[in-house]
A and B are shown apart, each in its own frame.
Chain A
Amino acid sequence: MSKDLSEVIGRVLPAPENHLDADEIERARKARRSFMGKALAMGAGVAASATAATRAVAAEGEDAILKLPEHSTGLGQPVAMDPGYGQPSKWETNLRRRQSPGLTRVDAASVSFTPLQGLFGIITPSGLHFERHHQGWWDIDPSKHRLMINGLVKRERVFTMDDLMRLPSVSRIHFIECGANSATEWGNVAVPTVQYTHGMLSCSEFTGVLLSTLLEMCGYDKKNGKYVLAEGADGSSMTRTISIDQAMDDCIVAWAMNGEMLRPENGYPLRLVVPGVQGVSWVKYLRRIEVGDQKWATKDEAVHYIDHMPDGTHRQYTGIQECKSVITTPSAGQTLLDKGYYNVTGLAWSGRGSIKRVDVSVDGGRNWRTARLEGPILPKALTRFNIDWVWDGKPAILQARAIDSTGYVQPKINQLRAVRGTRSVYHQNAIQSWLVSENGEVSNVQVY
């Protein structure tokens, strides 16, 4: 096994540098091939020399090294450049939240997707956290924001942000996924990249006070208080029913995300975090929690976020985001630059617990190998997986399949359809297939 791996690593091909033109890259490719052929025939010295052979360089070496660039010979930028808040490199502008054309009709009731195809690890940069607004977003004056707790409580209470931020806080990493993530894939393939198939998914460290702390402070009715209603302060005043068990377990009334205050698009100054449950329950601009003895059947519990079953009924209150995974690189819309070694990487998550195992297939689901899980592996959080793959240049179909701590195995789309039918919109957690074609292009396909 270790011998295999050393051969694999010996074939690492750095991506062509951007300053090389097409001809130079082609020369590099031919040089490498001819070298590799000889090296493999000799059966030695592969790892040490392959890298040198992959670049088209003059005898004495490469300009990138021999000719010192400006950044090595000049003075750089000063500290605290305007606006005093660091921005990504100008070379990284391709990774942006983007809308899916035609998905929604109005920008203020729409979605922008996280560019999963280019992200690393498990934390989503706050500026790339996906957006879903039902009636537009606001940047609310935090000094005027209030949280009210009412209903079946001994004391109906009002909290300012000052009050809330004095309370004992927790910081926890959780994923948030829209209940409609991957909805386009219930039927036929409809969108070109993982950003659009799975990009209503983010994972952050949230800081706030446990909802249980607030409910205890208000003296909630432990006998009759079976549910809470969470309500937002914006125009839509999003309302969602949450079971008292979950409210008392791990829900967080959060003001911070990834070490700073929430971004306005994500609910500044206060949002509810409902770990493992679809994003619509993570009410933004949270203004009120009401304790009650019945469910509310709000608009997004009675018209949307319900599962249309084959017998014509709709399942209501199906909020758990079940175990799911997806390969993010290589993924649809990307192009492999050469044959050889690739680190296949992706994300897995479960609303019911932590990720136990991820298997990866490169032959469309016939044979599977178990991937390496990177730490930390946290409950109701994204988990990063990696696995080695040597592409032989032939068509390949890449799939990932996750298993969570309850033993639940992520299904294929036909297995999911067998239970839920074909007219559902929400809670699509099937295995995603990416076809790698001989020309190196990866595309979105369905195979099962």
Chain B
Amino acid sequence: MKSMFRISARAAAAAIAFSALSAAPALAQKTAPWHDIGRDATKAEVAAWDIDVRPDFKGLPKGAGSVSMGEEVWVAKCASCHGDFGESNEVFTPIIGGTTKKDIETGRVAALVEGAVATVPQKTTIMKVATLSTLWDYINRAMPWNNPKTLTADEVFGVTAYLLNLAEIVPSDFTLSNENIAEVQKRMPNRNGMVFYEPMWKVNGKGDVKIVACMKDCAVDPKVQSFLPDFARDAHGNIREQNRVIGPVRGADTTKPPPKSLEGAAAAASVVAVAPVAGSGSNVNNLLAANACTACHGVKNKIVGPSFVEIAAKHAGRADVDAYLAGKIKSGGSGVFGAVPMPPQPQVSDADALAMAKWIAAGAK
């Protein structure tokens, strides 16, 4: 014990000597030994990353964009996913719709009240968003979806103005700018529709449902209120192949109707069902994902563009199909499956384009 004390006393003395050399003693006593790990950020670095815009518009850069300029940007870069009028439900839920002139006056969207008649099939962004800064900030940081942070500040003002015009918040000859955006905020249709609910924000808040835990003969409605509909039995694939092949239970074989008895279920479970592991297609899948192809093309379903299976069917029998599709992947275009253009993909290497083309031509399996 004695010798240990002597060692630590010596170490402490050394530490004091060191801190006296390197910094003012008062500071050295207060700060942790790791205090200076890292480095100061430069002004340019903070400016490059600190792009957020708050509801009070702190962080909003100077700029301006007209509704008509915004429309041009919209048609070129946004409409393929969101529709010409922000109404698209193909790729993302609709942005515009469901608000009225009255809502702009009151600042509360009447259609949101329980029991109100819905004017659109689902809630749109403009029905919910209370703060205009939110739209500006999000378009600026995350749009266009496959090429975020590439719009200029003026373009973000323009696109925001175009959306506001579609929602009849500003007229068609309007130019939105950092000067007038706070005025436009006062016309947001759901600006009074948000409530800060502190109990669910604070860890030590109280929940909004208070229950006493009954243990015996508790009141229960004996009716089963909701079942999985029969048609949905195999909507998530064969559940057999989503459960372990050993243990106290098996997955139900949802490719077949429910067994009539317990014996039938157990007998069916005696067959080992291991799901096939994804095969050679996985590399192509990575390419498709990395190049955002699957944002617009499903394997079997049309999204914005045709499905890969459809493409394969259309060009079946074409002798140069691999080279043709590789060329289309890189150059884009429109007219083969409709008017919506596919943007060119110059970032895709020839080898990757050919790999994807071959996979598509072979039926996208």
Contacts and interface: CB of A to CB of B under 8 A. Distances in A.
Interface in A229-284: 229, 231, 235-237, 239, 243, 245-246, 249, 276
B133 interface: yes
Interface stretch (B229-237, B308-316, B339-347): B229-237
Contact of A192 (B211, B223, B239, B247): B239
Contacts of B109: 312
Contacts of A127: none
Nearest to A288: B49
B129 A115 contact: no
22 contacts: A22-B268, A91-B245, A101-B235, A105-B303, A117-B242, A135-B142, A192-B232, A235-B149, A237-B51, A237-B148, A243-B202, A299-B138, A302-B130, A312-B108, A312-B109, A315-B200, A329-B248, A334-B252, A336-B248, A368-B213, A420-B208, A448-B221
Contact of B249 (A191, A311, A337): A337
B55 to A, nearest CB: 5
A15 B246 contact: yes
A105 B113 contact: no
Interface stretch (A41-49, A78-86, A438-446): A438-446
B244 A299 contact: no
Interface string B256-291: 001111111111111111110100000000000100
Identify the 6 closest CB pairs spanning chains A and B, nearest first.
A318-B200, A312-B113, A312-B112, A22-B267, A315-B197, A333-B239
A415 to B, nearest CB: 5
Interface string B329-345: 00000000000000000
B214 A157 contact: no
A38 to B, nearest CB: 21
Given A157-B40, A338-B266, A438-B261, A313 B194 contact: yes
Main secondary structure of the interface of B (DSSP, over half): loop
A40 to B, nearest CB: 19
Contacts of B213: 357, 359, 368, 401, 403, 409
Nearest to B58: A294
Interface stretch (B18-26, B29-37, B66-74, B350-358): B29-37
A374 B260 CA distance: 37
Nearest to A100: B236
A108 to B, nearest CB: 6
A448 B220 contact: yes
A444 B40 contact: no
Contacts of A237: 51, 141-142, 148-149
Interface in B89-123: 90-92, 108-110, 112-114, 116, 123
B203 interface: yes
B5 interface: no
A170 interface: no
Given A336-B249, A446-B226, A193 B262 contact: no
B40 A337 contact: no
A35 interface: no
B104 to A, nearest CB: 16
Given A150-B46, A336-B248, A192 B235 contact: yes
A217 B148 contact: no
Interface of B: 32, 34-35, 37-41, 45-46, 49-52, 54-56, 58, 90-92, 108-110, 112-114, 116, 123, 125, 128-131, 133-134, 137-138, 141-142, 145-146, 148-149, 193-197, 200-218, 220-228, 232-233, 235-237, 239, 241-252, 254, 258-275, 277, 289, 292, 294-295, 303
A440 B266 contact: yes
Contact of B275 (A16, A94, A298): A94
Nearest to B190: A314
A320 B202 contact: yes
B138 A298 contact: yes
Interface string A285-298: 00110101011111
Interface string A375-407: 000000000000000000100010001010010
A226 B214 CA distance: 41
B218 to A, nearest CB: 5
Interface residues of A, number: 151
A217 B33 CA distance: 10
Contacts of B112: 308, 312-314
Contacts of B223: 447
Nearest to B272: A18
Contact of B217 (A188, A231, A236, A367): A367
B194 A196 contact: no
Contacts of B197: 307, 315-318
Interface stretch (A2-10, A66-74, A159-167): A159-167
B40 A158 contact: yes
A93 interface: yes
B113 A311 contact: yes
A372 interface: no
Given A302-B128, A409-B213, A94 B265 contact: no
Given A18-B271, A447-B224, 7 more contacts: A15-B247, A188-B226, A296-B137, A303-B138, A311-B114, A423-B114, A443-B227
Contacts of B200: 307, 315, 317-320, 322, 427
Contacts of B237: 98
A334 B56 CA distance: 52
Contact of A445 (B55, B227, B243, B250): B227
Contacts of A364: 220, 222
A136 interface: yes
